[in-house]
Amino acid sequence: MKHVRVGLVVPSSNVTVETEMPAVLSRHPAATFSFHASRMRMARVSPEGLAAMNAQRERCVLELGDAGTDVLLYACLVALMAAGTGEHQRVEGLVAEQLATGGADTLVRSSAGALTEGLRALGARRIALVTPYLRSLAEKVVRYLEAEGFEVADWRALEVEDNVAVGCIPGDRVMDAARSLDLTGVDALVISACVQMPSLGLIDAAEKEFGLPVLSAATAGAYSILRATDLPVAISGAGSLLRADVPVPA
Hey, where are the domains in the chain?
A: 2-111+219-243, 114-216
E strands along 100-234, which residues? 107-110, 126-131, 151-157, 188-192, 214-216
Classify domain 114-216 by CATH number.
3.40.50.12500
| 191-250: pLDDT as tens digits | 999 999 999 999 999 999 999 999 999 999 999 999 999 999 989 889 999 986 544 443
Domains 2-111+219-243 and 114-216 share a fold: yes
54 known member of a binding site: no
Predicted local confidence at residue 244, as pLDDT: 61
4 known member of a binding site: no
Q: What is the 3-state secondary structure (H, E, C) of 59-108?
A: HHHHHHHHHCCCEEEECCHHHHHCCCCCHHHHHHHHHHHHHHHCCCCCEE
E strands along the chain, which residues? 2-11, 31-40, 71-74, 107-110, 126-131, 151-157, 188-192, 214-216
Q: Which of 10, 71, 73, 76 is catalytic?
A: 76
Predicted local confidence at residue 246, as pLDDT: 47
Predicted local confidence at residue 78, as pLDDT: 87
In angstroms, what CA-CA distances link 151 with 62, 180, 183, 217? 37, 18, 12, 18
CA torsion angle 115 14 141 213 (round to 10): 40
96/185 Cα distance (integer angstroms)? 38
Contacts (Cβ under 8 Å, ≥6 apart) of 203: 191, 214, 215, 216, 219, 238, 239
31-53 b/e (C-beta count within 10 Å ≥ 16 → b): bebebebbbbebeebbeebbeeb
Catalytic residue list contains 194: yes
Q: Average pLDDT of the chain?
A: 91
Predicted local confidence at residue 57, as pLDDT: 85
144 known member of a binding site: no
Predicted local confidence at residue 19, as pLDDT: 94
133 known member of a binding site: yes
14 known member of a binding site: yes
Structure-model confidence comparison of residues 145 and 243, the more confident one: 145
Predicted local confidence at residue 237, as pLDDT: 87
pLDDT of 103 higher than 90: no
With cut-offs at 50, 70 and 90, classify the pLDDT of residue 146: very high
Catalytic residue list contains 76: yes
The pTM (predicted TM-score) of the whole model is: 0.92
What is the SS3 assignment for 7? strand
168 known member of a binding site: no
CA 176 to chain centre: 21
Q: Which of 79, 129, 194, 231 is catalytic?
A: 194
Check whether domain 2-111+219-243 has CATH 3.40.1360.10, yes or no: no
